[in-house]
Structure 1
Amino acid sequence: MAASTSLALVLAVVLCCGCAATVSAAANSSSGDDFLRCLTAGVPSQLVVTQGSSSFTSVLASSVRNPRFLAPGTKSMDKGAVDAVTKWQTLAPELPEELTIRVVVQNKQARFQSLYLGTCDQLLPVMSSKLPELAMTRADCQEMSWLQSMVYINGAGTTSTPVEVLLNRTTSLSTYTKNKSDYVKQAISKASWEKIFPWFDGAGAGLIILEPNGGRVSAIADGDTPYPHRAGVLYNIQYVAFWPTTATAAVPDWIKNVYKFMEPFVSSNPRAAYVNYRDLDIGENTVTAGGVTSYESGRLWGEKYFGAANFRRLALTKGKVDAGDYFQNEQSIPPLVTKK
């Protein structure tokens, strides 16, 4: 996982801890402390920066201004895409920490997107050595700030779009989307990828995004934060389906079918999922007659997001701060109250 991802993590922690600081004065009990720590006791202190930290402003500024360099490359199925993706699976998690490469598979093509903390001249020999299949040239590399790279990757596809577009909170999407997710622990064979690629071609087909693990993500123990998908995981798969907002039809069958097809190639017992790609298909809470969410019903989806041990810890913490389950939704953490 590249340094770019590490800095993104710093920003996320800054925002979360900033919110937590607002309520910390009211939560002075040990249970409140457990809640506010969010199970992050094992995260290296240098990665946790609160608004009260002396370095808060400088970390935030450097994270936004730090130069990032985007190097896209596209391979079609008949021109080496399968070979490149097959190799990428084990290569990407082992890349230098300043480089991350993800893959978008759509229309039987694989689009490689990389973020690199350094110069294009520094990146070229790395790419030539690690992934010569992409035949990357200087023309494929664009230098930009981290903020600009977020605009570029998330739809603009050009460096001329002003970063202020990120301030626009009104969606301009003309499609609905549905997301599902998986984690891959063992590399998928070339023969299997040759069967997978055709799923992303034709009417109604969506796409998948392959995001590598590695770096700091894999270095942190599974139980140090609620997020457990770390060492031993090669990459995450995000499935995305699209359909027009004017359509009255239900979610396209494509995403359900491709998700079922991928079952032999991904994690199992449980089939893990990423909590930020919220997926009600993997389970929903059942509320008891007393208005409190059933812990057992929550385990169905919760252990896929957080792992069994982490989910239990989250539920025990919820039991201390919200035993009556006032805050609840289809996949909210259920309270687990132990008898004294």
Structure 2
Amino acid sequence: MTAVQPKHTLITEASIKGLMHTYDIGHVDECIFLTRGLNDTYRIKTANDYYIYRVYRHGWRDYSSIQFEADGLQHLKQRRFPVSYPIIKSDGTMISTIEAPEGTRYGVLFTYSPGERPTIQPNHAGKIGELLGKMHSLTDDFRSSNYRGFKLDESHLLDEPLSRINPLIKAYLGEEAEEEIANAVKNIKKELSNKKLEVGFCHGDFHNHNMHINQGNLEVFDFDCSAIGYRAYDIAVAWWNIRSNYQSEEKACWNAFLSAYLEERNLSDDDFQSLPLFITARRIWLLGAMLENDDVWGSNWINKSSLELFILQIQSDRNREENRIR
């Protein structure tokens, strides 16, 4: 298999440090590259504080889409929700333009969330559920004049990733497996069409990897996948994370999460019944995102065994719909 070529260059730490003069944050002592993902992340240190600088990859999010994310974060900040939010530059804007070899990229400076990733156990799961319920309630009235570019709907979660998944499934597992995935997607779309689901501002990736806990308090970050969409999908992502990574604690943690969420806001029966469908949708979206961004996740994992596991997970989700945890 040929090597995967990076789709975006890495901006040097010195260049990122040079951009900090556009902010009123004082002298920058240090700029450290932290991680490459769908975007590149740097940690900025001044005499008084830490910050996070994100450089969006070329073609991933346009200016208006990033401004939508910033609008949502400012909305939450104004309502005192614990969130990492954009720092406003000296000229009153929040987004910097960076010309890279591959094309225009954008950068945003965020406040730093102290602490560490919360472990998944019932107490923390309850805190996470409470926080998501509050976030949904606080953004019921959120509006933005900026175009996000996508919604967390059937097109984004199912149709787009399926167009990338199907050729591989067919190549490695044959037409029967390809048809099975296609039918699973058709079934999800059919069932969702018969439900009246709540739509509103969503984080899009709400689980413990995108929050820190500090002295018992949680703070949420990384709203890169945020958009208007199905609120049940936001809830299902948290359940998917518990189910996928903390199986021995699933029932206790899911019950704690859901109970805490329901203390903050109601969940209709249609929304609750859709949660298993959105767990499957999450699996499909994630596989599609990994295939689309192979310079981040590589390609060694793309093989018959991994795709067979994906099929088994889809089948398992379907079988478990009759034995839901509540």
Q: Structure 1 length normalisation: TM-score? A: 0.30
Larger-gyration structure (1/2):
1
Bigger helix share: 2
